[in-house]
Amino acid sequence: MIGDIHQRVTRSSVNSLAFFSYSAYVASFEPRDVSHALSDPNWVNAMHEELENFERNHVWDLVEPPPNCRPIGTKWVFKNKQGEDGMVVRNKARLVAQSFRQKEGIDYEKTFAPVARLEAIRILLAFAASKGFKLQQMDVKSAFLNRFIEEEVYVRQPPGFESAKFPDRVYKLRKALYGLKQAPRAWYARLKSFCSSPDKTLFLLSRGGDTLIVRIYVDDIIFGGSSHALFFLGLQIKQVLEGTFVHQAKYTRDIPKKFNMGDSKPMTTPTSINTALNADEDGEVVDQKEFRGIIGSLLYLTATRPDIPFVVCLCVRYRASPRTSHRQAVKPIFRGFSNADHAGC
């Protein structure tokens, strides 16, 4: 029994009670636009938090636009951040630059920044298990706001938060803003300045006799050293004495809903033994963008499911000109996970 004896709370109800208590401080919906967000105090607080980060990191200065200035537009992006159990844990408002207006050679030069491959992450997990390292994960808050940029870039004032005194002024950027083409490269350079790097995305930090190993994927970082349950890039990682268990339970629950296949009936295998795909040039054409999105999501799922790569790669062949028969072929893959409990099998 937990809590006051006169107000009994069983262990089974603690999680649900905590959820309802916490939900009073976050919004469960995602706004359509700025006007919709401004109608909810939780999202207003999220936007204020983002702008306070800008002020704290000295990201920009409000200035008079210079002659021939073509400021880049800004846009609010709203997203509910969920935990691995699917519960909304944070309302995240992010101000991004409309990078499609950037001109190469004027607004930016180099843009490339390396990211870790999934194979490299699996190797790190295996190495940590063999050495008995404890792994931790973190998402760097406002990562791109930590690095100065070399180019002279101007952006418009945030929608809904324009200065009443100087409505015609623009912001001159001192540091990278999310959405800028050079932002990932600037963040990578900042991170690299602190750690030695035997690999483009693997960093080592040595202090005395202790060594910290860090693997990065943009602003998601997984790290461990010699001195418990993790949620990293959609991979749910559980460390126990016997080893490391990796699965994607939340991810497999989310992607069928994303592609309107959430009501699929269970199926014992990811494909039928009679499946035989071909170009089907006379078949009905389906949305290429959606089909590629489905294939991309399934390819990411192969990181922890070695039973589906064959059928997924079979469907990949027809991503350039998908037909109804090809879309039907991917549905059984989702059906194979519709009732999975991910209990370690």
Q: What percent of the chain has pLDDT over 90?
A: 4
126 falls within a domain: yes
Contacts by residues 279-282 (CB-CB < 8 Å, ≥ 24 positions apart): 279/318, 279/321, 280/318, 280/323, 280/324, 280/325, 280/326
Residues 239 and 263 in one domain: no
Residues 96 and 205 in one domain: yes
Least confident segment among 123-127, 171-175, 201-205: 201-205
In the prediction, which pLDDT does 109 show?
63
Question: Looking at 245, 277, 301, which one is the last position of a domain?
Answer: 245
Residues 287 and 171 in one domain: no
In the prediction, which pLDDT does 255 show?
78
Average pLDDT of the chain to the nearest whole number: 73
Least confident segment among 72-81, 155-164, 254-263, 284-293: 254-263
Residues 193 and 284 in one domain: no
344 falls within a domain: no
Pick from 161, 179, 174: which is nearest to 77 by CA? 179
H or E element at residue 31: none
Stronger pLDDT, 190 or 67, i.e. the higher one: 67
Residues 201 and 293 in one domain: no
205 falls within a domain: yes
Distance CA 74, CA 94 (A): 10
Q: Which residues contact 193 (CB under 8 A, 6 or more apart)?
A: none
Residues 210 and 292 in one domain: no
Q: Given a cut of 70, is residue 177 above it in pLDDT?
A: yes
Burial of 325 (0-12, 13-18, 19+ CB in 10 A): middle
As for how many domains the chain has, the answer is: 2
DSSP single-letter state for residue 164: S
In the prediction, which pLDDT does 239 show?
62
Stronger pLDDT, 36 or 234, i.e. the higher one: 36
Distance CA 182, CA 151 (A): 9
Residues 81 and 206 in one domain: yes
What digits encode the pLDDT tens for the residues 36-64? Answer: 889 888 899 999 988 988 888 788 999 99
Residue type, 345: C
Q: Given a cut of 50, is residue 216 above it in pLDDT?
A: yes
In the prediction, which pLDDT does 1 show?
31
Distance CA 300, CA 322 (A): 20
Residues 233 and 191 in one domain: yes
Residues 175 and 275 in one domain: no
* Confidence tier at 10 by pLDDT (50, 70, 90): very low
| Tokens, residue 341 | 């409990």
- Cα-Cα-Cα-Cα dihedral sign, residues 331, 333, 336, 338: negative
- Cα-Cα-Cα-Cα dihedral sign, residues 273, 277, 282, 286: positive
Q: Given a cut of 80, is residue 111 above it in pLDDT?
A: no
Stronger pLDDT, 61 or 145, i.e. the higher one: 61
In the prediction, which pLDDT does 58 show?
85
* Containing structural domain, residue 287: 249-335
Q: What percent of the chain has pLDDT over 70?
A: 60
| Tokens, residue 41 | 């105090």
Residues 34 and 177 in one domain: yes
In DSSP notation, 70-114 reads -PBPEEEEEEEEE-TTS-EEEEEEEEEE-GGG--BTTTBS-----
Model-level pTM greater than 0.75? no
With H, G, I as helix, E, B as strand and everything else as coil, classify residue 1: coil
Residues 258 and 239 in one domain: no
H or E element at residue 34: helix 34-37
Winning range, highest mean pLDDT, from 46-60, 83-97, 127-141, 142-156: 46-60
Q: Given a cut of 80, is residue 153 above it in pLDDT?
A: yes
In the prediction, which pLDDT does 2 show?
34
Residues 327 and 197 in one domain: no
H or E element at residue 235: strand 235-240
Count of alpha carbons within 13 angstroms of residue 140, beta-carbon side: 19
Stronger pLDDT, 254 or 262, i.e. the higher one: 254
Mean pLDDT of 20-33: 66
Q: From start to end of the chain, where are the E strands?
A: 60-63, 74-82, 88-97, 134-139, 154-155, 170-173, 202-207, 210-217, 220-225, 229-232, 235-240, 243-247
Mean pLDDT of 106-125: 69
